[in-house]
Amino acid sequence: MRRELIAIAVLGMVACDAPRGVDARFSTPEHTIETLLASYGLEDATQEDIRARMAAHERFELRDRASFEACFADLPPGPVGEGLAGWVLGAIAAGRDELRVEIFGDRATVAPREGVRIAMRREDGAWRIVLDESVPSDVRRALDVVAERHDRRAREQGLPTE
């Protein structure tokens, strides 16, 4: 009984942390980052484990697509969008212990390491990652080239492209 009361109290505190009508998972920049990591099952992984998995080129498996997509203000459909979001996930996951969050009104930045800034904005009380402002232009160009090659090969083989 005591555990149940504690659990109810904790849930009440989390719910109170969110503005009325806003999903608590997106009520702060930190909650959005936690939701992003949890969508890949990385909420309990250590930074060292994440970095080791990245160094070994292991894939992270998406477990909750709806939550993942809800973390972004401007997620384009298709492989390029997945690549942009994947870059942000990787940057945040690899620097999760050093994240610095700065909030300026309805805008925020999350810095996982020096020189990397993930932009966020608050929309109707929910904080979302803005890919257009977060992913460096050289990464965008590289993803565009990969997508163009993929589409060209698919057309040459008579396969549908997205």
Q: pLDDT by residue (tens digit) across 16-73?
A: 455 567 899 999 999 999 999 999 999 999 999 999 999 999 999 999 999 999 999 9
The one-letter code for the residue type at 69 is E
Give the residue with greater pLDDT, 8 vs 18: 18
pLDDT band at 83 (very low <50, low <70, confident <90, very high): very high
Give the residue with greater pLDDT, 161 vs 120: 120
Predicted confidence at residue 155, as pLDDT, reads 74
Tell me the residue range of the domain where 113 lies: 24-153
39 occurs within a structural domain: yes
52 occurs within a structural domain: yes
Predicted confidence at residue 19, as pLDDT, reads 56
pLDDT, tens only, 85-129? 999 999 999 999 999 999 999 999 999 999 999 999 999 999 999
8 occurs within a structural domain: no
Q: Which of 97, 98, 112 is nearest to 120 (CA)?
A: 112
Q: How many domains does the chain have?
A: 1
119 occurs within a structural domain: yes
Count Cβ atoms within 10 A of the Cβ of residue 150 and give its class: 0-12 exposed, 13-18 middle, 19 or more buried: middle
CB atoms within 10 A of CB 142: 13
DSSP 58: P
- Chain-centroid distance of CA 115 in Å reads 18
